[in-house]
């Protein structure tokens, strides 16, 4: 259980067959505070802070909790991402951090213009009304994004071997 279960699960989904090489294939594709309790790939339950990972070598995807993401990316402070995420969900006027803005840009949640603007005004204490509104709209785009993710998830699932038509039948 625990670490070995995580390593085994990741290696199965990776091109490389050893942990040290396999872990390098993965990067964060999304961060989510789930409304429902979930189980991490390592077996830990319950978790709500989810990191969705994508394998850059073969396109596989998986989800781990904040408990395990550091085993892949010791440099990347996933805690920092979650702290910013929670802060802004609580108060939409607050600021995300540069790591999060960069992730949002890489994932196409926001465009380059928005990213540059945000990085530029992030540390300013005084914003014009126009800047403030723009910042809040970017925050909303990022932190309430999972509402729009539902469809993507269904699509992901059907790629993983389940026939979407069969699934529809099951649901009826
Ligand atoms: Zn875990």
Tell me which DSSP letter residue 23 carries.
G
Tell me, yes or no, whether 172 lies in a domain.
no
Q: Tell me, yes or no, whether 105 and 60 share the same domain.
A: no
Q: Tell me, yes or no, whether 65 and 135 share the same domain.
A: no
Decide which of 76, 106, 138 is a domain's last residue: 76
* Helical packing angle, 98-106 and 78-90, nearest 10°: 90
**What's the pLDDT score for residue 163?**
41
Decide which of 76, 105, 123 is a domain's last residue: 76
Decide which of 18, 48, 76 is a domain's last residue: 76
CA distances from 51 to 45, 77, 94, 111, 163 (A): 14, 12, 22, 22, 26
pLDDT-derived band of residue 6, with 50, 70 and 90 as boundaries? very high
Q: What is the mean pLDDT of residues 57-72?
A: 88
Token code pair at residue 108: 């196409």
Q: Tell me, yes or no, whether 131 and 157 share the same domain.
A: yes
- Cα(97)–Cα(103) distance, integer angstroms: 10
Give me the domain span that covers residue 86: 79-167
Q: Tell me, yes or no, whether 148 and 94 share the same domain.
A: yes
Q: Tell me, yes or no, whether 150 and 113 share the same domain.
A: yes
Distance 144 CA to ligand 1 centre (A): 24
**What's the pLDDT score for residue 76?**
62
Distance 162 CA to ligand 1 centre (A): 26
Tell me, yes or no, whether 10 lies in a domain.
yes
Q: Tell me, yes or no, whether 40 and 55 share the same domain.
A: yes
Q: Tell me, yes or no, whether 92 and 147 share the same domain.
A: yes
Q: Tell me, yes or no, whether 163 and 114 share the same domain.
A: yes
Q: Tell me, yes or no, whether 84 and 156 share the same domain.
A: yes
Tell me, yes or no, whether 129 lies in a domain.
yes
**Predicted TM-score (pTM) above 0.85:** no
Please provide the average confidence, as pLDDT, over all residues in the chain: 82
How many independent structural domains does the chain possess?
Answer: 2
- Between 66 and 73, the higher pLDDT residue: 66
Tell me, yes or no, whether 151 lies in a domain.
yes
Distance 75 CA to ligand 1 centre (A): 17
pLDDT 10s digits, 13-58:
999 999 999 999 998 888 888 888 989 999 999 988 888 899 999 9
Identify residues whose C-beta is under 5 A from ligand 1, the ion.
40, 42, 44, 65, 67-68
Q: Tell me, yes or no, whether 46 and 117 share the same domain.
A: no
């Amino acid at each position: 259980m625990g670490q070995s279960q995580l390593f085994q699960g990741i290696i199965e989904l990776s091109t490389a067959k050893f942990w040290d090489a396999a872990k390098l294939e993965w990067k964060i594709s999304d961060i989510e505070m789930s409304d429902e309790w979930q189980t991490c790939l390592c077996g830990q339950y319950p978790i709500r802070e989810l990191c969705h990972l994508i394998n850059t070598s073969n396109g596989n995807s998986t989800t781990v909790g904040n408990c395990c993401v550091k085993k892949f990316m010791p440099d990347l402070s996933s805690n920092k991402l979650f702290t910013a995420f929670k802060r802004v969900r609580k108060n939409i006027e607050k600021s995300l951090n540069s790591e999060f803005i960069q992730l949002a840009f890489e994932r196409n949640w926001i465009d380059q213009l928005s990213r540059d603007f945000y990085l530029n005004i992030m540390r300013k204490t005084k914003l014009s009304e126009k800047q403030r509104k723009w910042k809040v709209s970017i925050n909303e785009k990022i932190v309430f994004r999972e509402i729009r993710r539902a469809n993507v998830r269904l699509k992901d699932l059907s790629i993983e071997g389940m026939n979407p038509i069969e699934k529809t039948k099951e649901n009826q």
